[in-house]
Structures are given as C-alpha cells and as structure tokens.
Amino acid sequence: MASSGFSIQNIPQLPPDPLFGLKARYTADTRTNKVDLGIGAYRDQDGKPWVLPSVKLAEKAIHEDPAYNHEYLPIAGLQQFTSAAAKVILGSDSKALKDDKVVSVQTLSGTGALHVAALFIKRFYKGSGSVYISSPTWANHIQVFETQGLKIESYPYWNYATKELDLKGFLGAINSAPEGSVFLLHACAHNPTGLDPTRSQWTEILGAIKKKNHLALFDSAYQGFASGSLENDAFAVRSAIDSFDGSLPILICQSFAKNVGMYGERAGVFHYVSATKDAALQSAVLSQLQKITRCELSNPPAYGAKIVSKILNTPELYAQWERDLVTMSSRIKEMRQTLRSELESLGTPGTWDHITTQQGMFSFTGLSKPQVDSLEKDHGVYLVGSGRASMAGFNLGNVKAVAKAIDQVVREASKL
C-alpha cells in the first residue's frame, strides 16, 4: 500500500455530519413506507420538494432577459439583492434604512452569513470573547463559532420538563454574562425546538440584552415560514432595531434557503446595523467584510441571488411569494394540528399541545434518543436524535402512520 505524507494518526475517521448522515441513512433505507422527518427542507403534500411558483416565474424572467449572463458579481454580492433583502428583514420603512446605518454583503446562505459573522466578531469585536447560544440550538452553530476560535457558552432556553421557554433561565444568563457578550438569537421558528418567545417575552429579553450592552446576533432562516407573514416573523429583529437605535449595533444573518426554497442555490445576506450612522466606520466595515469574502470565495454565487432579487424587486412576484409562504406555512400548521389530534385521540401518554404552539419547520417532539432510534429502526421514521421532527415531512399520507409509530415507541418506553 502506498505511503502518505498525511500522517495516519492525524486524520481520524469522523462520524458523518448528523443531519447529512441522517439523510444518507434514509436514502439507503429500502422500506417503501419510510418517512423523512430529518432534514429541514419543505415538502409538499405528496412528500416532494416544492419549487415555489414565484421562483419558477422569476427564473423564466431571468432566462428571457437578454442581459442574462454568468459574469462575476461584485465581492459584496448583487446589490439589488442585498438591499432588497435588507428591506425584507428590517421593513422597507425601517428607520435603520432611512438613517443609512446598514451594511449588507451577500453570503453563502445562512451558514455563510454565520461564518462571516464569526470571523468578523473574532477579528474586530472588542467586547467579551464568548458567544452565547441557546440550549439547544442548531448543531452547526457550535462548529461555526468554535472553528474561528470563539468560545461558546449556552443560555437556558428549552425546558425539557415543561416543554416551554425557560425565560427565567434565559434572562438570568443575559444578566450574568459579562457586559458586551455576543448573544445568538433565533429570529423566529427556533431550530430545533420550534418554540419562540412571545412578543412580551421578546421585549423582556431584548431589554435585558440592551441593559448589558450585549451584541445581538440574529439568525434569521425562517422569516415568513413561521406564521406565514414576513412582518410578524420579523418582530424580534425589528424590535431590537427600534430599541437599540442609538445605542447598540446589531448583526443579522439572513437565509433564503427555506422561505424562497433556494436551498442548493445558497442565497443569503449578512447585515451589520450600526448603533448610529457612522459613515467612516460603515465604510471600514464593508471593506473588511469584502476582504473576508475575497480571501475565501472571491465573490458569491450569482444565480440564486438573481432569482431572489427578481422576486423581491418585482411587485407581482413579491405578491406571489407572499402567497407561497402562506401555502407552505399553512400546510405545516395543518400537519401540526393533525399530528396533535391523532396523538391525542390515540391517547398517547404525555401532553402534545406543544406540537401546535411551536411554529416553523421543526417540532421538538420531546421524544428521547432511544425512542428516536426505535422509530428509525423499527418503523422507518427518521428524526434527528434530539427528537427534532421536520413538520414539513408530514403529509396526509403518512401522518396517521407516524402518529401510531410514535404512540408505540412511547408506550414501549413507558413499559420499561
């Protein structure tokens, strides 16, 4: 066997990424009744990926445009895309935009934006060194920040006993964290729990953050997906923008993977919102963000940005997109209601109202790892080990069967 310059001891085999690994096991599973409740991608009522009608229309328009080409985008990305994206999250009448306080750069979807945020914080933020993430949070959050040498702390979020928000614990962590710490907040449709603070809870949370001069870092991957309304789902971000105006900067990582179904096209934006307008600082920030992009990608991918830009900047397409969001979110809501009522009518031990109070793509079912393993092994129902189920994977064709399977594994567990 050939030898290698790479030391064998230094390159251990890693287990596959939990989410991509789950997908791989599901794909390899030959059972016809298998159900994929793993990866966070929307599925229609037939369990198929759904290309949004607004996307199809936008693509048609793009291809018919004689100016369509494959030229490089500027380093900061497609400007029509990033500025329209800012309006989506901040509101087109946002004071932050009127005051010209926002710096935006295109990124490789949400992960790319988080990566830029991590690098930017590591290099330039002179506040506390730790990044506070919710317990639990999206698995990849930890790697994104740790690989850039940032220290991770967690704040209480999901109360495993009550399946509710541990507001007291959350506020306690905000208050005890060193001043100027970074707090990673899920803008809406918390991943993996689906549990979002209420509006009054957000007001308390943001108030506590402001008091400690923390840096709020919003991860917005599901705007429009949670309630069906872009405006409703932006409440937390816009509240922070209003409340921190004049005192604290805010960072926002924005993904269009789910709400425009751009998964593989990787369309995202990173926004830096100044406390107050500071042209010199904002120019410096933009130049450094461009430098980050240049040294890793040169410039971001064009196609997805063009599609989203087309939608956001064409009123008829924007209106279609808003309808598409209602289509997706209402089907998910329907599935939540159906699953809950199935479990309740089966008399499955436990309480199941959290399924309908949670919102967005995911539900933290409350199932334990052994129960999840049993679901996968014995019933071909694939959930993430934490008990996270993708509600988009449910449809009228499988919800009854999955409810029965859940019922079985819960009853078996209670026998032990």
Partner 1 sequence: MLKFSRAFIRNSSVWASVQQAPADKILGLTVLYNKDTNPSKINLGVGAYRDNDGKPWILPSVVAAEKVLSQTEENKEYVPIVGSPNFNSLIKKFLYGASASGQSLVDSGRVVTSQGISGTGALKVLAEFTKSFYPIRKVLVPNPTWANHIAILEKSGLETEPYRYYDYESNGLDVTGLLEDLRKAQEGSVILLHACCHNPTGVDPTLEQWDEILEVVSQKKLLPILDMAYQGFRTGDPIEDLAILYKFCDLVAAGKLDNFMLSQSFAKNMGLYGERVGSLSIVTSGEEESVRVKSQLEKVIRPIYSSPPSHGSKLVEIVLSNPEIYAQWLKDVKVMNDRLVDMRALLYDKLKNTYKNPLNWEHLLQQQGMFCYTGLSPEQVSSLIDKSVYLTGDGRISIAGIYEKNVDYLAKAIHEVTTA
Among positions 356-415, residues that touch partner 1 (CB under 8 A) are none
**Residues 360 and 389: beta-carbon distance below 8 Å:** no
Beta-carbon contacts of residue 252 (< 8 Å; ≥ 6 apart): 89, 187, 217, 218, 220, 237, 270, 271, 273
Tokens of 101: 């306080």
- By CB under 8 A, tell whether 7 contacts partner 1: yes
Task: Select 73 or 401, whichever has its Cβ closest to partner 1.
Answer: 73
Number of residues that bind partner 1 (CB under 8 A): 85
**C-alpha–C-alpha distance, residues 220 and 230, integer Å:** 11
Task: Select 290 or 356, whichever has its Cβ closest to partner 1.
Answer: 290
The answer for 408, left when phi > 0, alpha when psi is -120 to 50, beta otherwise, is: alpha
CA separation (Å) from 131 to 41, 68, 72, 178? 27, 42, 34, 11
Site for partner 1 in 321-350 (CB under 8 A): none
**C-alpha–C-alpha distance, residues 351 and 136, integer Å:** 21
Tokens of 155: 């704040």
Site for partner 1 in 292-311 (CB under 8 A): 294-304
CB atoms within 10 A of CB 349: 12
CB atoms within 10 A of CB 396: 12
Q: Which one of 163, 258, 306, 310 is the catalytic residue? A: 258
**C-alpha–C-alpha distance, residues 407 and 410, integer Å:** 5
Site for partner 1 in 210-269 (CB under 8 A): 213, 215, 246-249, 257, 261-266
**Residues 184 and 209: beta-carbon distance below 8 Å:** no
Task: Select 297 or 413, whichever has its Cβ closest to partner 1.
Answer: 297
**C-alpha–C-alpha distance, residues 256 and 308, integer Å:** 8
Site for partner 1 in 167-196 (CB under 8 A): 180
Q: Which of 124, 160, 176, 370 binds partner 1 (CB under 8 A)?
A: 124
Q: Which one of 219, 233, 245, 324 is the catalytic residue? A: 219
**Residues 293 and 300: beta-carbon distance below 8 Å:** yes
- By CB under 8 A, tell whether 287 contacts partner 1: yes
Q: Which of 39, 269, 328, 361 binds partner 1 (CB under 8 A)?
A: 39
Site for partner 1 in 52-111 (CB under 8 A): 55, 59, 63, 68-75, 108-109, 111
Nearest to 125 by CA among 254, 252, 251: 251
Q: Which of 88, 90, 105, 144 binds partner 1 (CB under 8 A)?
A: 144
Pairing of strands 267-273, 102-108: antiparallel
Is 400 considered catalytic here? no
Is 138 considered catalytic here? yes
Task: Select 38 or 366, whichever has its Cβ closest to partner 1.
Answer: 38
By CB under 8 A, which span of 6-14, 79-87, 92-100, 363-371 interacts with partner 1?
Answer: 6-14
Task: Select 72 or 345, whichever has its Cβ closest to partner 1.
Answer: 72
Is 219 considered catalytic here? yes
Q: Which one of 36, 50, 101, 138 is the catalytic residue? A: 138
Q: Which of 276, 337, 351, 414 binds partner 1 (CB under 8 A)?
A: 276
- By CB under 8 A, tell whether 143 contacts partner 1: yes
Which sequence positions are flagged as catalytic? 138, 219, 258
